A = this chain, B = another copy of it.
Amino acid sequence: MTDIAQLVQTLGVAARAAARGLAAASGTQRNAALTAMARRLSDSQEALQRANALDLDEAARNGLSEAMIDRLRLTPARILDMVEGIRQVEALPDPVGEITELRPRPNGMMVGRMRMPLGVIGVIYESRPNVTADAAALCVKSGNAVILRGGSEAHHSNQAIAAALAEGLSEAGLSAGAVQTVPTTDRAAVGELLRADRYVDVIIPRGGKGLIQRIIDESRIPVIKHLDGLCHTYVDRYADLAMAQELVFNGKMQRTGVCNATETLLVHQAVAAEFLPPMMDRLIQAGCELRCCPRAFALAGGHPVTAAGPEDFDTEFLAPILAVRVVDGMDQALEHIDQHSSRHTETIVTTHHQRAMRFLREVDSSAVMVNASTRFNDGFQFGLGAEMGISTDKLHVRGPVGLEGLTALKYVVLGHGQLRS
């Protein structure tokens, strides 16, 4: 066994033991741990900034862009945000131990289901260091142990954050093994973690498409993932066109670099001539580039739009760019979505009840909306509290992954001697 394999095994053994303790702990104990984790983090400002300075120096030496360096930076305000985030997670309802649908069978035994932690969660991320605190808080709240592997550019910061959180766990009498980071930047450790199916129950990656794809290909452990966000807004022939203009503008332009931004606008041909010119005007004024199908292009009049290539309807722009297509009707809109959507978020703008219900039923995406901005597909917006990400998978959890997504239901049976005959 290599040193790295040995290292990951040690983490796994400790995490597995901690997970048992955490699953057996009461909600009060897990909340006390979160209180202590928040306090320790808040008290560690100096240590965090010292560690962060090491990462920032290295980033500068490695010539990282100013934007990337800014993402790395742990300012007092950002540390306070992490602390506040932990307190918000603590305040959420306890998901563990709930028993539902406990019903008698004809032989008198009661059969129901109990919500329980998944066990050990591996989080692999390349995002800002705050993910370390957010993910740890969600895992502890839901009774799971976590092994964190952040990006090497934030290594010292992540280690310092996790060390503060582990102190909080110990202070509250829970095992520090519940929150561990991989103590090396060696990339071989990621491979070992993805093979550690004896110790890790699920892998949750957060990062760019390259990272996610590599994890899918390599992992022997089930992965809860978010791959693409190619979201559609469909303006139906029965849309309130003023509302539609607001929803399209919000879906595309409220924030463009995010997974739930609208990337393609579909417009029913019966309203395209009335709807599109003012919509185009507003988007172009705001700096949005429009890539139009021939029918939309023909309606552009003097607006400076470009002709869409076929790839434009399969591209997650993450930028102020919108693909626009005029469709013959709702069937073609559904067909287009089925062919091109990444199954993240789609919305219909319509006043027609049956058409709204048909859209809800037939579109197969993690969130399907009527008369609401695609930008709402988000844990906070849906009322789940913080989230580990948004799943575009179908199994286990679709959409925002909150506390419930970190749990599973086991069957419980209460009998008084029932025998199978």
A residues whose Cβ falls under 8 Å from a Cβ of B: 20, 23-24, 97, 103, 105, 109, 111, 114, 116, 118-119, 201-202, 216, 220, 222, 224, 240, 243, 246-247, 250, 254, 338, 347, 356, 360-362, 364-373, 375-377, 381-383, 393-396, 398-400, 408-421
Residue contact B394 to A20, C-beta cutoff 8 Å: no
- A373-B418 contact, Cβ under 8 Å, with A119-B364, A361-B114, A413-B367: yes
- Which residues on the B side are within 8 Å of A416 (C-beta)? 243, 371
Among residues of B, the one whose C-beta sits closest to the C-beta of A371 is: B415
Since A216-B220, A222-B222, A395-B395 are in contact, a sample of 9 more A-B pairs with Cβ atoms closer than 8 Å, ordered by chain A residue number, is: A360-B412, A368-B412, A369-B412, A371-B414, A375-B419, A376-B413, A376-B420, A394-B408, A398-B411
Q: Is the CB of B246 within 8 A of A111?
A: no
Q: Is B413 touching A247 in the complex (CB atoms < 8 A)? A: no
Tell me the smallest distance from the CB of A158 to a CB of chain B, in Å. 26
CA A97 to CA B375, docked complex, whole Å: 24
Assess the B371–A412 pair: CB atoms within 8 A: no
Q: Can you list 7 A-B pairs with a CB-CB distance of less than 8 A?
A: A20-B338, A23-B361, A23-B364, A116-B364, A222-B395, A347-B413, A367-B413
Is A370 in contact with B414, judged by CB distance below 8 angstroms? yes
How many Å lie between the Cα of A372 and that of B110 in the bound state?
10
Q: Are B361 and A97 in contact (CB under 8 A)?
A: yes
| B417/A243 in contact, CB under 8 A | yes
Contact of A246 among B24, B364, B417 (CB under 8 A): B417
Q: Please give the distance in Å from A371's CB to the nearest CB on chain B.
A: 4
Q: A382-B411, A398-B408, A410-B366 are in contact. Are A418 and B111 (CB under 8 A)?
A: no
Residues of B within 8 A of A395 (CB): 118, 201-202, 222, 224, 395-396, 408
CA distance A248 to B247 in the complex (A): 63
- Describe A's contact surface by its main secondary structure: mixed
Instruction: A383 to B109: give the CA distance in the assembly, Å.
Output: 11
* Given A114-B361, A366-B410, CB of A420 within 8 Å of CB of B382: no
Instruction: Give, as a whole number of angstroms, the nearest-CB distance from A236 to chain B.
Output: 14
Count of this chain's copies in the oligomeric assembly: 2
Minimum C-beta distance from A361 to chain B (A): 6
Residues of B with C-beta under 8 A to A396: 395-396
Closest Cβ–Cβ distance, residue A367 to chain B (whole Å) = 4
Contact: B361 with A24, CB < 8 Å? yes
Once bound together, how far apart are the Cα atoms of A362 and B114, in whole Å?
11
Q: Which residues of B contact A240 (CB under 8 A)?
A: 417
- Of all chain B residues, the one with the shortest Cβ separation from A351 is B416
Query: Are B360 and A114 interface neighbours, CB within 8 A?
Result: yes
User: Which B residue sits closest to A117, measured CB to CB?
Assistant: B364
Whether the Cβ atoms of A247 and B24 lie closer than 8 Å is no
- CA A366 – CA B413 in complex, angstroms? 11
| Pairwise interchain contact A415-B372, C-beta atoms closer than 8 A | yes
The 7 closest A-B pairs by CB, nearest first: A372-B415, A375-B420, A367-B411, A369-B413, A396-B396, A250-B419, A243-B417
Residue of B nearest to A395 (CB): B396
Report Cα–Cα, A254/B93, bound state, in Å: 43
CA A247 to CA B417, docked complex, whole Å: 7
Chain B residues with CB under 8 A of A369: 412-415
Among residues of B, the one whose C-beta sits closest to the C-beta of A399 is: B411
Residues of B near A382 (CB, < 8 A) are 105, 111, 411
> Cα distance A419–B408 when bound, in Å?
33
Q: Tell me the complex Cα distance, A359–B17, Å.
A: 17
A381 and B105 contact, CB distance less than 8 A: yes
* Interface hub of A119, A247, A417 (most chain B Cβ within 10 A): A417
* Residue from the list B119, B372, B411, B418 in contact with A413, Cβ < 8 A: B372
